Copies of this chain bind each other. A is one copy, B any other.
Amino acid sequence: MDASPLRVAVLGASGYAGGELVRFLSAHPGAQITFLGARDSAGKPLAQVHPHLASLPIASMVLAAVDADAVAEVADVVFLALPNGTTSPLVPGFLEAGMRVVDLAGDFRLPADRYPEWYGFEHPAPGWLGKAVYGLPELFAERISGAALVANPGCYPTPVILCISPLLAAGLIETGPIRVDGKTGSSGAGRAATESSLFASTEESIRPYRVPRHQHTPEMEHGIELATGIAVPVIFVPHLVPTVRGVLITAYASLTDGVTTDHLTDALMASYASEPFVRILAAGEMVDSKRTRGTNVVELQAVADPRTGTAVLVGAVDNLIKGAAGQAIQNFNIANGFDQTTALPTLAVYP
């Protein structure tokens, strides 16, 4: 680790995840923000785009159009907080210029053949997919260390893969279809103004969406297989509820005969005993997404219901932090030799 900080670019700095990246990086002793990129907000200073960051030293830095050459001149590492489908054309250039990349979009998370069906586009750079490491640090830290390209996981797959993988690997749940029910708040839809994200549309509303075609579905299947070597089909049904932040997933798997809640809980605790961002809840407590808000923590829990042969697996994260910007910083830390907890909060702003 050098004494001088790494020069860092954030592309997509005007969005919610981009704002969180800037907030965390501004307090990171090993990073110096040298470039802020945006599309529609290009030309505006940071303080205008994110008034809550007005007290930062870089508050007057003007967001620039996303220009790969300009980025490469001033940055060693680039965070891509851009829409799905827009980062795959950019990444090869950054890598060829010797930069390191953390990609928060979905463009490098899956095998090439999944993109047409689930993302609606042919992958433009399939040859580069093999260079990407799937950035779920609690499972793949060794591969992330030193990686040039980290595909930062989606918000929903993060808790799903973390709670299912150890139990599947240990044979405590069966390999049949896993049904994943997701709930999240409106920040996951981003900062774009749409009628469905209005306060008036969202308050007192509970509703599913994109059933059963959400693009995080194959990511859950692929991540579980990466971690365990076992292929299981996953169906995923996400729901919007009236929160700003928070993802909570409830997964239903078939329980192996004789397995108890204690077996499941013990397996989770053993897997993540040394992980600073994982909190396993014991019997009598229940996961609460509110306790993860503002933190990089994931809460996990498992309950066995022998009566119906079901394992109920629950996980929660702050979708903008452990589900996006925080995990990206965690990956940055691991890839570049910092302690993985650097600049990342673990204590919720509660209530």
Which A residues are closer than 8 A to B by beta carbons? 16, 19, 23, 26, 50-56, 177, 179, 181, 183-187, 191, 193-195, 197-209, 211-212, 233-235, 237, 239, 241-246, 248, 250, 252, 276, 279, 285-291, 293-294, 297, 303, 305, 307-310, 312, 314, 316, 346-351
- Do A309 and B250 touch across chains, with their CB atoms under 8 A apart? no
Residues of chain B with a CB closer than 8 A to A233's CB: 307-309
Say how far A7's CB is from chain B's closest CB, in angstroms.
21
Q: Tell me which of B239, B287, B294, B309 contacts A349 (CB under 8 A).
A: B294
In the complex, what's the smallest C-beta–C-beta distance from A14 to chain B, in angstroms? Answer: 11
A54 to B203, CA, bound (A): 20
CA distance in complex: A297, B316 (Å): 29
- Docked-complex contact A52 and B347, CB < 8 angstroms: yes
Contact of A305 among B187, B194, B235, B348 (CB under 8 A): B235
Q: Is the CB of B347 within 8 A of A56?
A: yes
Contact between chains at B16 and A53 (CB < 8 Å) = no
The residue in chain B whose Cβ has the minimal distance to the Cβ of A246 is B206
Known contacts: A19-B350, A239-B250, A250-B208. The answer to whether A285 contacts B51 by CB under 8 A is yes
The answer to whether B206 and A312 have CB atoms under 8 Å apart is no
- Quickly give the copy total for this chain: 4
Supposing A211-B286, A291-B51, A294-B349 touch, asked if A204 and B244 sit within 8 A by C-beta, the answer is yes
Among A23, A235, A285, chain B packs the most CB atoms within 10 A around the CB of: A235
**Which of B19, B200, B312 lies in contact with A197, CB distance below 8 A?**
B200
Least distance between A134 CB and chain B CB atoms (Å): 22
Contact between chains at A287 and B208 (CB < 8 Å): yes
User: With A193-B193, A203-B204, A235-B312 given, can you name 12 additional A-B contacts, CB distance below 8 Å?
Assistant: A179-B310, A181-B181, A181-B250, A193-B195, A200-B351, A203-B290, A204-B293, A205-B243, A206-B246, A208-B248, A235-B308, A244-B351
Contact yes or no, A347 B177, CB < 8 A: no
Q: Give A81 Cβ to nearest chain B Cβ, in Å.
A: 15
Contact yes or no, A239 B183, CB < 8 A: yes
Q: Find out whether the CB atom of B199 lies under 8 angstroms from the CB atom of A203.
A: yes
Instruction: Give every chain B residue within 8 A of A19 (Cβ-Cβ).
Output: 350
19 contacts between A and B (CB under 8 A): A16-B200, A16-B351, A52-B290, A183-B206, A183-B241, A191-B200, A197-B198, A203-B203, A203-B244, A204-B246, A207-B290, A208-B248, A209-B286, A211-B303, A211-B312, A212-B310, A233-B308, A233-B309, A349-B349
A199 neighbours in B (Cβ, 8 Å): 185-186, 197-199, 201-203, 242, 244
How far does the alpha carbon of A52 sit from the alpha carbon of B201 in the complex, in Å?
12
Contacts of A23 in B (CB 8 A): 347
A310 touches B177 (CB 8 A): yes
B279 touches A54 (CB 8 A): yes
Distance A287 CA – B52 CA, assembled complex (angstroms): 11
* Contact between A204 and B308, CB atoms less than 8 A apart: no
Please judge, given known A-B contacts A198-B197, A205-B243, A308-B235, whether A179 and B252 are in contact too, CB under 8 Å.
yes
